A = this chain, B = another copy of it.
Amino acid sequence: MTKLSWGLVGGGAGSQIGPAHRLGAAVDGEFAFVAGALDHRAEEGRFYGRSLGLAPDRAYGDWREMLAGETGRADRVDLVTVATPNATHFEITKAFLEAGFHVLCEKPMTMTVEEGEEIVRIARATGKLCAVNYGYTGYALVRHMRAMVARGDLGRIRLVVAEFAHGHHADAADADNPRVRWRYDPAQAGVSAQFADCGIHAMHMASFVTGQEVETLSADTVSCIESRVLEDDAMVNFRMSGGAVGRLWTSSVAIGRQHGLSLQVFGEKGGLRWAQEQPNQLYWMPLGGRLEVIERGAGGLSPEADRASRVTVGHAEGMPLAFANIYRDMAEAIRAEKDGRAMDPAADLYPRAEDGLRSMAAVFAVAASGKAAGQWTDARPPMFRD
């Protein structure tokens, strides 16, 4: 099996998420890293790209240069990942899609709902894959939760409780540090800070696992550190397309919580509980039964969980392998397209542009509801309203 070729925009030296993408793409040997425009400073980007083994002519100084360079090649990259700061996602993703590349874009996919709708339209028109990196959905046991819900183990879903609450921006003395401050400044971050940064992961996961979309929501957004304009803590109640009630707490001032992404799902016939920090165990209680520990890698799991597992039970698989599962899914989708065959349904799980758009609509709904004392607000993108 020859490798697919892969290019990265952003993720330069010292970036937070770059290493996870390179790990994720490399791990399974599906993608060869052959092109990149890694930094907002052309020289640094070229230098770093070469230091990572890119050929000099594919260690680009700028994404436009990369777009031009790759477009002109017979062996152009099969997939482009966009891992730059948020405000640039839209134009970069749009440009690569329109030039006929498959794209994996970091979250949030865009800065506005309108941009999100445009990306969806372009992806549909071009027929190119456009994925959004809700990478935590790559965990085997998150996929197993989805499979359990889909096959009816929980019955009708009544309630979903999602959290993404950490304490990494709790230091008031540090709040004016430019590295932190921009996130809470509407001029740079848009209409939402903590919800747009973390809350959307949790909300997307609620949808991913239940198979239901968020329709309306009511938000309580607050700035626990007073100098902030945008929220550092939010509680969002929501209603989903299949009737589930949702509750989502997100925070960046919850000192003592390292990461804090978790999901609880309660149905008529049982309840599930999972937390990102211990991702290899899933807690399941059937109605009237006992709490059971479902281990990643154990026998008897769903095909979706099996496919997303690599090492034997009892050995942790961590976040880079969750990201890797998104890449493996996309590799399968790309190969299936090349081969003109249907893709493995157990791989057909990577988040799509539609998901990125839905998140954007939710971000604006949260911001609007938060300003309007929690008024219930339509959370759907206009193009998905009926």
Please report the C-alpha to C-alpha distance between residue A255 and residue B20 in the assembled complex, in whole angstroms. Answer: 35
**The one of B218, B257, B266, B292 that contacts A292, using a Cβ cutoff of 8 Å:** B292
Nearest CB of B to A139, in Å: 9
Q: Which of B167, B259, B298, B318 contacts A318 (CB 8 A)?
A: B318
Write out, one digit per residue, whether chain A residues 333-356 have a CB within 8 A of any chain B CB (1) or not (0): 000000000000000000000000
In whole angstroms, how far apart are the Cα atoms of A107 and B286 in the complex?
Answer: 31
Q: Which of B158, B235, B319, B376 contacts A316 (CB 8 A)?
A: B319
| Chain A residues numbered 84-125 whose CB sits less than 8 Å from any CB in chain B | none
Residues of B within 8 A of A251 (CB): 159, 266
A310 part of interface (Cβ distance < 8 Å): yes
What separation, in Å, do the CA atoms of A174 and B317 have in the docked complex?
28
Task: Report how many copies the assembly holds.
Answer: 4
Q: Is the CB of A317 within 8 A of B315?
A: no
- Interface size counted on chain A using CB atoms at 8 A: 87
Interchain nearest-CB distance for A323 vs B (Å):
9
Question: Inside 8 A of A254's CB, which chain B residues have their CB?
Answer: 159, 161, 264, 266, 271
- Nearest opposing residue in chain B for A222, CB measure: B245
Q: Within residues 278 to 307 of chain A, which ones have a CB less than 8 A from any CB in chain B? A: 278-280, 283-288, 290-295, 298
Bound CA–CA A222/B376 (angstroms): 15
Measured CA separation A167–B291 after assembly (Å): 12
Give the contact stretch, choosing among A26-34, A58-66, A75-83, A177-185.
Answer: A26-34
7 contacts between A and B (CB under 8 A): A16-B312, A23-B28, A171-B287, A172-B268, A256-B272, A292-B293, A320-B321
> CB within 8 Å of B: which residues of A?
1-3, 16, 19-20, 22-23, 26-29, 33, 51-53, 158-159, 161, 165-167, 170-172, 218, 220, 222, 224-225, 233, 235, 237, 245, 247, 249, 251, 253-260, 264, 266-268, 270-273, 276-280, 283-288, 290-295, 298, 310-321, 373-376
| Closest CB pairs A-B (n = 6) | A259-B314, A255-B271, A256-B285, A316-B318, A256-B271, A258-B314
